[in-house]
């Protein structure tokens, strides 16, 4: 029998604690260590029963969330999910603490009482993703951007190209669009890539699994530190060089248009690969509308979202890249893409930025 994921919840709101408790209690893969409004009390409980994952509100009595994260990371590094409201200030704070060791963000449902099945499923998935995080493994930290022996083996044995691709081809037929998909650990991975890109970079479209209300804060933060323009996508936004569009949380994003004149459209729709926005939806639309003039990149994240879509891109002649195991927080999405046969190259995160 697999060991259960032990979850500690720290939140000043009794309603929020009740909602998370109900989600954990209904999932036989998880168990609740405690649900407390006090970070000080939580730390005492954790001494005797250390959790696999911590769910943390940043607005706490006695000790702010930043201090708590620093204390946990200096004692026994543990995956932490920020449990935050969707207000702009809350979203900004939640993104800031990813640099301190938090692995992701989950949104507090805007309801009192019962939480929807969709919201419960997404929160449960986020907890399970966090539990699989390799960020807190010391060896992972030391080798974050070094290809592992496994990656070399996969590159030699598994990875192939869908078409003849040469530097001359790259120069004569430049990419018109770069599509990027990521999940857990993707906020930092995307920053690592975008911050290095010049304004001459082809237009970029990004699906990062995040709750509604957070993608705008992410785009704003990146726009302030990158040479290229980064913004949350708007319906009918054009894909132009030097601009990155981030899909809105809660909406699918697709590409439409023709040569040299592509734009994005929103789609509500059902969850695809358990997500909305879905990387599969974006990548598949790029395959259909842009074809081999697009480049696909799949980054860190759990699950299989993006594997089908990047295979579609690969099949029409796109150059496709997966982040390597050693530099991923969770080597789930890239691994599934490789297994699906839709990846031309496996590269460390730093090498992806250099390639682009």
CA angle in degrees (0–180, nearest 5) for 25-187-328: 80
SS (H, E, C) 280-347: HHHHHHHHHHCHHHEEEEECCECCCCCHHHHHHHHHCCCEEEEECHHHCCCECHHHHHHHHCCCCEEE
Q: Strand, coil or helix: what is 205?
A: strand
CA dihedral 35, 39, 42, 46 (to 10 degrees): 130
For helices 65-75 and 39-48, angle between their N-to-C axes, nearest 10 degrees: 20
Rg of the chain (C-alpha set)? 20
Helix (H) or strand (E) holding 121: helix 117-131
For residues 217 and 223, the answer to whether their CB atoms sit within 8 Å is no
CA distances from 202 to 17, 175, 178 (A): 45, 7, 7
Q: Which residues are catalytic?
A: 183, 209, 305
């Amino acid at each position: 029998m697999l060991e259960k994921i032990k979850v500690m919840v720290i939140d000043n709101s009794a309603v929020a604690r009740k909602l998370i408790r109900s989600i954990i209690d209904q999932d036989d893969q998880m168990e609740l260590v405690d649900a407390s409004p006090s970070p000080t009390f939580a730390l005492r409980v954790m001494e005797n029963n250390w959790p696999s994952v911590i769910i943390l509100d940043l607005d706490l009595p006695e000790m702010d969330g930043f201090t708590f994260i620093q204390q946990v990371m200096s004692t026994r590094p543990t995956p932490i999910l920020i449990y935050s409201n969707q207000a702009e200030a809350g979203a900004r704070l939640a993104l800031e603490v990813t640099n301190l060791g938090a692995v992701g963000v989950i949104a507090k449902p805007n309801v009192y009482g019962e939480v929807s099945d969709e919201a419960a499923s997404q929160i449960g998935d986020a907890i399970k993703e966090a539990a699989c995080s390799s960020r807190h493994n010391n060896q992972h930290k030391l080798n974050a951007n070094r290809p592992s022996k496994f990656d070399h083996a996969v590159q030699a044995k598994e990875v192939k190209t869908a078409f003849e691709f040469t530097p001359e081809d790259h120069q004569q037929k430049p990419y018109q669009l770069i599509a990027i998909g990521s999940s857990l650990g993707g906020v930092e991975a995307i920053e690592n890539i975008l911050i290095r890109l010049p304004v001459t970079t082809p237009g970029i479209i990004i699906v990062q699994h995040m709750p509604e209300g957070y993608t705008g804060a992410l785009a704003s933060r990146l726009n302030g530190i990158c040479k290229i323009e980064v913004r949350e996508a708007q319906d009918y936004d054009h894909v132009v060089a030097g601009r990155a569009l981030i899909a809105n949380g809660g909406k699918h994003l697709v590409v439409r248009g023709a040569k040299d004149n592509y734009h994005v459209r929103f789609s509500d729709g059902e969850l695809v690969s358990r997500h909305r926005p879905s990387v599969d939806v974006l990548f598949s639309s790029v395959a259909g509308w842009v074809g081999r003039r697009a480049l696909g990149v799949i980054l860190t994240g759990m699950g299989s979202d993006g594997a089908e879509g990047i295979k579609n891109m690969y099949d029409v002649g796109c150059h496709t890249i997966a982040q390597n195991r050693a530099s991923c927080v969770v080597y789930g999405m890239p691994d599934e893409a490789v297994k699906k046969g839709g990846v031309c190259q496996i590269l460390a995160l730093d090498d992806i930025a250099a390639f682009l």
